[in-house]
Structures are given as C-alpha cells and as structure tokens.
Amino acid sequence: MQCNTPTSFAALLFDMDGLMIDTESLSALAWQQAAAALDIPLQQAHLDAMVGLAMPLCLHYLTEELGDAQQAQQLEAQSRQQYHQALHQQTIPLKPGITELLDWCHHHGIARAVGTATQRQLADIKLGRTGLARYFEHTVAGDEVARCKPAPDVYLQAAHRLGVAPEHCIVLEDSPYGAQAALAANMRVIIVPDMLQPPGEIAKQALAVCQDLFEARGLLQTLLNLPR
C-alpha cells in the first residue's frame, strides 16, 4: 500500500462500478462483442480510455477515435443492449471485501453515499441486484448532475446530501477519472485499482493506493483509531 499522511474523516463516498461491483469486465466484454458484430476495430487502448467514463463521454471519445459519428452511435447502442442484457441475466459479482467494509461502516455509524458515473436506471438495477442498496440512503447518479467524472459534481452532490463538507470526506475509487473527480472536489481519495493502475501523478495525490478493499478498510480503521 502506498499511503500519504493520514487524517480523520466524517464520511465515506463510494464509487460503484469496479470499486464495489465487478462490472467493468462485463462492460468491456459488451464493447468487444458489439465491435466484433459490427466489424469495427476496437482496441484495448480504447477500452482502457473509457474505464470510469459516463456513456455520453464514451460516445464522444469513440466519435473522435473512429472519425465516424454514425459508426460510434451504432457501436454504443449495440454495446448498451448487450450490457443491459448481461446485467439482467447474469450474476453481478461483488468486489472482494466490499460487504465487510460496508458492514463495518454500518456498525460504526459512518456516514456514506454512492457517487457514480452510471445513469440512475442502471445504478438502481446494479445496487438492487447485488444487495448493496440497503447500505446507502443517498446515491448520486451520472445523469443527475451537470457534469460527470472527471468533473467533481457527483461527489460534491453526495457530500451535500450527507451534510458533510468536502474536505471531511474520503472517496473510495478504482479509476483514474474517478480519482480526478474526488481530487477536484477537494476530497481525499483512496484508490483501489481494478482494470487500470493510477498514473503516477494521481497516485501521488491520493491518500493511499490499496491493493484491495480489505487493505482500504484497515487504513480507514487506523484513521479513526477504531478496533479491527
């Protein structure tokens, strides 16, 4: 674990995809299958560049990369259809350690909220089907704010709903874009990488880079000086 100087906190804000639930791999597979069906060249670099981005930003990115707006729209529509089908029909796996972390938060009365780039409809499906919805009174979705990650809006709104100042929040994130959003909101961030390691500059600004959520929980317990 890489960790900068620790201090206490009043609330935890959670990303969803790639941090709490293992859906980034489902998303990548949907993009790959859609690209193959449409005979569109989609590289791993394209998939990496879209990790943590809201769908409108993915569409904008693909339009620029492919140089064809219609082709990008077809790819996005086909991918979305396959992704939605997977979310409804397949088991959505939890990331190791998330249940233990959320139970720990509940036991100690730690304020918490979700801030996700995912649209409300899909966010509710994911949180509901995984059983995580019961842990959160407040969630902010990507289509409920003016700007999505890497802008800070979802996390600022989540902190506002909790009634906690941004500087007293710690964000748990997996993606570089999400970490940028947390930092832009003047919040501290613990990064638990999923598909991508954080760039060096972002890692330096993070409170910590942890290998998994168990390690992140250990750090949070230390910050609050609580028993494990």
The string of pLDDT tens digits covering residues 127-158 is 999 999 999 999 999 999 999 999 999 999 99
Two tokens, residue 93: 């796996």
Lowest mean pLDDT, pick from 4-18, 151-165, 183-197, 213-227:
4-18
**Using alpha carbons only, what angle is made at residue 128 by residues 115 and 141, rounded to the nearest 5 degrees?**
25
> Average pLDDT of the chain?
91
Q: Does domain 2-22+94-224 have CATH number 3.40.50.970?
A: no
The one-letter amino acid code at 151 reads A
86: pLDDT confidence band, cut at 50, 70 and 90? confident
Give pLDDT tens digits for 89-141.
888 999 999 999 999 999 999 999 999 999 999 999 999 999 999 999 999 99
Which residues are paired to 172 by β-bridges? 14, 190
Half-sphere exposure in the Cβ direction for 177 (13 Å, CA) = 23
Domain boundaries, the chain: 2-22+94-224, 24-89
Q: What is the pLDDT of residue 41?
A: 87
Cα angle: 123, vertex 12, 155; to 5 degrees = 55
What digits encode the pLDDT tens for the residues 27-48? 888 888 888 898 988 888 898 8
**pLDDT level of residue 193 (50, 70, 90 thresholds):** very high
Task: Decide: 46 and 62 in contact? Cβ < 8 Å.
Answer: yes
Strands 208-209 and 2-3: antiparallel
211: its two tokens: 């290998």
Pick the residue with more confidence: 226 or 150? 150
